[in-house]
Amino acid sequence: MVKIAFQSPFAHKDEPKKEAAEALVAEQDPEVATHSREGSSGRCLLTLLGLAFILAGVVVGGACIYKHFMPKNKMLRGQMCYVGEDSQNQAAEPYFLPIAEEADIRETDNIAIIDVPVPKFSDSDPAAIVHDFDRLLTAYLDLHLGNCYVIPLNTSIVMPPRNLIDFFAKLATGSYLPQTYLVREEMIVTEEIDNVSGLGIFIHQLCIGKKTFRLQRREKLIGLQKRSAEKCHIIRHFENVFIVETKFCQQ
C-alpha cells in the first residue's frame, strides 16, 4: 500500500512567518543587551553622584564645625600706663596706673571690639566697646551698670583697624613705651533707644536686651547744665597712643 501524504497548503506560508519571527528576535537581542548595559551605567552614575553629595556634605559640615568652634580672629592684648593725678600735683616721684585691654579687631568688617576688664588700681568701670567704622558709631557697654551707650565715632581719638592692629603688635613686642597721658571726654545721656536693630549687627549683638541710650558730648550741649544731681560713671580705655577717660552722666 502506498501512502500518499498531502501537504497543507498553509505550510509554506507559515515558514516565512516563522523565519521572520526568528529574524525579529535576533534583531531585538542586541537592543535588549544595550538597554541592560545602559541601565547598569545609569545605576553606577547615580551611585557616584550620591557619593559625591555625601562627600560634599562632609566637607561643608566640617568647615561649618571648624568655623563655629575655632576663633575667627586672634585676640590682641595690651597694657598702657598713665601718670596718677596725685603725682601730678606733688613733687613726689610720679607713679603710673595701668590700663589693660583685649581687642578683637576685624579689618575686613571695619570693626574694632575692645574689652576693658575690671581695673586693679582705678575707679573706672569694666566695659565692652564696639567701634563701627562703616556706620561711624561707637557703643559702650558698661558691665557694672549693664547699660549700653551709643555715640558717633570720634575718628580723631580712635585709630582705624589696620593702625590698631599695628599698635597692639608694638605693645606686645615691647617696642612701644607704654607710658602715656590721659585725655578726658564728658558725655551726657540724652534719650533712650528703643530699637537697636538699626545700629548695625555688631552693636546690635552688644546691646540687644539691654537698656540703650544716646550720648552727646557736653561741650556740644546748649544752655545751663545742672551737675549737682547727675550720676556719672567712668570708663578708661585706649584706642590710640594715649588713655581716654570717658565720663558719661545721667540726671
Q: Domain map of the chain by residue range? A: 75-219+241-249
pLDDT score for 91: 47
Judge whether 126 and 141 are in contact, CB under 8 Å: no
- Residue 186 to residue 221: CA distance in whole angstroms: 11
The set of residues, in sequence order, having a beta carbon less than 8 Å from that of 39 and lying 6+ positions away, is none
Residue 44 has pLDDT above 70, yes or no: yes
- Residue 247 to residue 245: CA distance in whole angstroms: 6
- Give the closest residue to 133 by CA, choosing from 114, 111, 150, 104: 111
Average pLDDT over residues 102-122: 90
- Give the closest residue to 123 by CA, choosing from 251, 231, 233: 233
What is the tens place of the pLDDT at every residue in 29-39? 555 455 555 56
Angle value at C-alpha 188, between 134 and 141, nearest 5 degrees: 55
Please count the other Cβ atoms lying within 10 Å of the Cβ belonging to residue 8: 8
- Give the closest residue to 121 by CA, choosing from 142, 100, 141: 100
State pTM to two decimals: 0.66
Relative to beta strand 243-250, strand 127-132 is unpaired
pLDDT score for 15: 55
Residue 77 has pLDDT above 60, yes or no: yes
What is the tens place of the pLDDT at every residue in 13-30? 455 555 555 554 445 555
Label residue 250 by pLDDT band (50, 70, 90). Answer: confident
Residue 144, all three cell numbers: 557694672
